[in-house]
Amino acid sequence: MPHDDHGHGHGHNPPAPMVDEISDFEALEIAVRELAIAKGLFTAEDHRKFTEFAEHIGPTPAARMVAKAWLDPEYKKLCLTDAIKASLAVGVNWLNPTGFGTPSDYTDLRVLEDTPTLHHVVVCTLCSCYPRPILGFQPEWYRTPNYRRRLVRWPRQVIAEFGLVLPPEVEIRVEDSNQKCRFIVMPMRPKGTEGWTEDQLTEIVTRDCLIGVALPRPGVTTNLKMPVHRAAKPAHH
Amino acid sequence: MSQHDRTHHAKIATGKGDPQCFKGTAGPPKFKVGERVRIRNLPDIFYTRCQVYTRGAIGEVAVVTHESPAPEDEAWGHVDKSEWFYIVRFRQKDLWPEYPDAFAKDTLQTEFSERWLEKV
């Protein structure tokens, strides 16, 4: 990739921060993609289109799904029994853009419903499986070996790092998303939102809430910025 | 290598999705919701999606999800044989002996193809 602005001194547009940990899977993805393009399985143009398709999504459709479910018990039932069908109501057809789904996501979405005594949190220990068609791209921390290795074993400590501390009476259920099912968490509707519209409710169901590392709160509409620490024992390839 | 049909997946999954395209291809499921199962420690060659931390552990079938070729086969392009998949729920204490007693209610769920499960 040529750097068009190289040496032009655009100080207001700093380069993206360096990522300390590149997993073997990420290196593998680049290698396979380049091979696939070289072999003519798809073109670089196709790849750009797929990437743009995925990048423009963002977590809003999933947030709206939860907000709608809070307001409409019938819709909530549909979310819990056939989330792929329920996705249509928030503008997401899981078969797009190819006719059989995105190039690397499967089409079996499950909605995990929180209760006063049960809280879900999602991880993929094998790579970074994530319901991208309805939630957009993963945050960087979700892909790190740090999150993936530790969440299954020390979930309470890890979610506490996101500011979420739950009492022992609440069962924490980790969902390790390691096959074709994809998951979002449906948190409970928080107090202080009585009489709110669907749009207002959608705003507080952040991406972090849908992964399960945060709970929705009135007034909170952004995700926690997790600092990227240098790896203590970086891998040298 | 060039004999492999790389459009096979598009052909079978278009208009249906994956795993929906494998519906009805695995016969009746061997396990049902609520049944206690042990995760087998099978050998795997180069590719598996069965995590080592679950092997030998006992859990309970939480959801019978769908039919699909097992990833251990699919990775090699073998998609002619399907299996049922199951989300299994474990007590965290059964996976990690050092898990704190104060949080004994905590659980973990993850998914397996049928070959990885055996009756307890």
* pLDDT mean over B91-109: 97
Which DSSP helix (H) or strand (E) runs through B29? none
The question of whether A209 is a catalytic residue gets the answer no
Does residue B88 belong to any structural domain of this protein? yes
Q: Are residues A88 and A189 in the same domain?
A: yes
Point out the catalytic residue in the list A79, A87, A129, A177: A129
pLDDT digits (tens, 9 = 90+) for B28-67: 999 999 999 999 999 988 899 999 999 999 999 999 999 9
Contact between chains at B107 and A172 (C-beta distance less than 8 A): yes
Measured on CA atoms in the order B97, B101, B107, B108, is the torsion positive or negative? negative
Q: Are residues A29 and A84 in the same domain?
A: no
Q: Are residues A141 and A48 in the same domain?
A: no
Q: Are residues A62 and A167 in the same domain?
A: yes
Quote the number of domains for chain A. 2
Angle between helix A73-81 and helix A60-71 axes, rounded to 10 deg: 130
- pTM for this entry: 0.86
CATH number (domain holding residue A90): 3.90.330.10
Q: Are residues A180 and A150 in the same domain?
A: yes
Q: What pLDDT shows up at residue A4?
A: 47
Does residue A5 belong to any structural domain of this protein? no
Count CB pairs under 8 A between chains A and B.
Answer: 106
Does residue B2 belong to any structural domain of this protein? no
Q: How many helices (H) and strands (E) does chain B have?
A: 3, 5
Q: Are residues A207 and A99 in the same domain?
A: yes
In this prediction, residue A20 has a pLDDT band, given cuts at 50, 70 and 90, of: low
Contact between chains at B109 and A94 (C-beta distance less than 8 A): no
Q: Is the pLDDT of residue B13 over 50?
A: yes
CATH number (domain holding residue B63): 2.30.30.50
Does residue A33 belong to any structural domain of this protein? yes
> Which residues span the domain enclosing B80?
8-119
Chain A within 8 Å of B6 (Cβ-Cβ)? yes
Contacts of residue A179 in chain B, CB cutoff 8 Å?
49, 65, 68, 71, 85, 111-113
Does residue B54 belong to any structural domain of this protein? yes
Alpha helices in B5-47 (DSSP H): 8-13
Chain B within 8 Å of A176 (Cβ-Cβ)? yes
In this prediction, residue A237 has a pLDDT band, given cuts at 50, 70 and 90, of: low
Measured on CA atoms in the order A210, A213, A215, A220, is the torsion positive or negative? negative
> Which residues span the domain enclosing A94?
58-211
Chain A within 8 Å of B1 (Cβ-Cβ)? no
CA nearest A221: which of A200, A237, A192, A196? Answer: A200
